[in-house]
Amino acid sequence: MTTRTALFTQPEALAIWDRFFGRIKTICRPLPDDAQRELILELEDHLYESFRAQPGESEVEKLAIAIENMGDPDEFVRPLVADHQLAAAGRTMDPRSVFLGLLYNTSRGAKAVAASFLYGLGYLLSLGFLLVAIGKPFSPDRVGLFARSGGGLVMGILDQPPAGSTELLGYWIIPVGIVLSVVIYWTLTRLISRGRSTSRTAR
């Protein structure tokens, strides 16, 4: 694309352009540098073509219309960042990509917020199993899977196990907790990554 200083003859138009893409760059900050550049160049091309297609002589007015037609960056850029982060999470299993993908995915609306919340609960469950496994050697009497004397099971890190309860797994809770944590994390991450791939294909 032509360098930004050659796009416009009116300094006001260039200032509007810079402010608009300043917002976009801020939203894209979680992306790797190459992905940021690719996405921003694509959006620059799209906006400039829309600008050129507008009737009239004033660059400021034409650019303002093109930006209005393009929409709010929070509404169309954040979902793109979410897709990239969730796809990356599916490849690398990186918790940071998972967190940012779910966070940015909430920009899609109420259903996406609900889905992100449910996935978040699933990841908390995965973390809970891992913490139980890690905590067992440090506090064996208060960590584990306990059977209540009156029926029912309690699993976790407890201030005080229920009176008369029996700890069922002993130190086997360590491999069990680790396996459950990994399986839940891997399954959830593959699901959200596959869901984003499917939605992009459908579009």
Same domain, 202 and 124: yes
Inside any domain, residue 62: yes
Q: Do 58 and 133 share a structural domain?
A: no
Cβ atoms within 10 Å of 77's Cβ, excluding its own = 22
Residue range 120-159, pLDDT digits in tens = 999 999 999 999 999 999 988 889 999 988 788 888 888 8
Q: What is the pTM assigned to this prediction?
A: 0.73
Are 203 and 118 in the same domain? yes
pLDDT at 166 over 90: no
**Is residue 117 domain-resident?**
yes
* Torsion angle, alpha carbons of 22, 27, 33, 39, to 10: -80
Q: Is residue 191 part of a domain?
A: yes
Residues 14 and 65 in one domain: yes
Calculate mean pLDDT across residues 82-106: 89
For residue 129 the two structure tokens come to 């199993």
Which pLDDT score, from 0 to 100, does residue 2 have?
45
Is 67 found in the same domain as 128? no
Environment class of 201 (CB within 10 Å of its CB; exposed 0-12, middle 13-18, buried 19+): exposed
Q: Are residues 110 and 198 in the same domain?
A: yes
Average pLDDT, the chain: 87
Task: Give yes or no for a contact between 86 and 101, defined as CB atoms under 8 angstroms apart.
Answer: yes
List the domain range (segments joined by +) for residue 137: 106-203
Q: Roughly what angle, to the nearest 10 degrees, separates helices 173-202 and 95-105?
A: 50
Binning pLDDT at 50, 70 and 90, where does residue 198 land? very low
Give the chain's domain count: 2
Average pLDDT over every residue of 70-98: 89
